[in-house]
Amino acid sequence: MQQEKLKSAIESLLFISDEPIAIGKLAKLCDVDVEDVDSVLLSLESDYGAQTRGLAIIKIKDLIQLTTKADNAEIVSKMLKSEIQENLSQAALEVLAIVAYRGPISRAEIESIRGVNCSFTLRALSIRGLIDRMENIKDSRRYLYNISFDFLKKMGVESVEKLPDWDNLSKKSENENVNKVEQLSINIESV
């Protein structure tokens, strides 16, 4: 497939998908090699970065998704942010912040930081699509929780590393306390 036609096809696939797509799946759909898809994705990233366009590509491992540009986060957040904050309790914001800054993290670790049971809150956040539950390779009896692509899109950031004060607050410490949890949730609200 011609480079420009492949670029157009991949951009269309990313646009219509409401979920992240694996690079391998894009290659299979377009009947090309993964390296060709990688090359096109770099070109698209360059296009979106160099121009004053409202789109960006976000990545988590080998998953790709087309989303709005971080520069437009303020205006986009006016429309979407209320979805996160409305009807979310302080407990939900705290759990969401812990998962965002410390994920992937187990329920037991979250409960250790907060000091209370978080089962219901984790379920509610999962139903809203703000966190994802995944298998724990080290302990198959427990799940790990991580933020979702929807969370990144709604917060208007391209990766968790772009959250406020990421370098400081993402560090795990032996002496977690309520002040740290409150700071995490304040940062989630301020994005």
Contact, 38 vs 23, CB < 8 A? yes
The CA-based angle 160-165-169, given to 5 degrees, is: 80
pTM of the predicted structure, to 2 decimals: 0.51
pLDDT in tens, the chain (191 residues): 688 999 999 999 998 887 789 999 999 999 999 999 999 999 998 888 877 788 888 888 889 999 888 788 788 767 665 655 566 788 888 898 899 888 889 998 998 888 888 888 898 898 888 899 888 777 766 789 999 988 888 777 788 887 877 777 777 654 444 445 555 555 555 54
Cα(66)–Cα(18) distance, integer angstroms? 9
Domains of the chain in start order, with CATH, are: 3-68 (1.10.10.10), 73-190 (1.10.10.10)
Residues 6 or more apart in contact with residue 52 via CB below 8 angstroms: none
Give the torsion sign (CA, 172, 104, 100, 181): negative
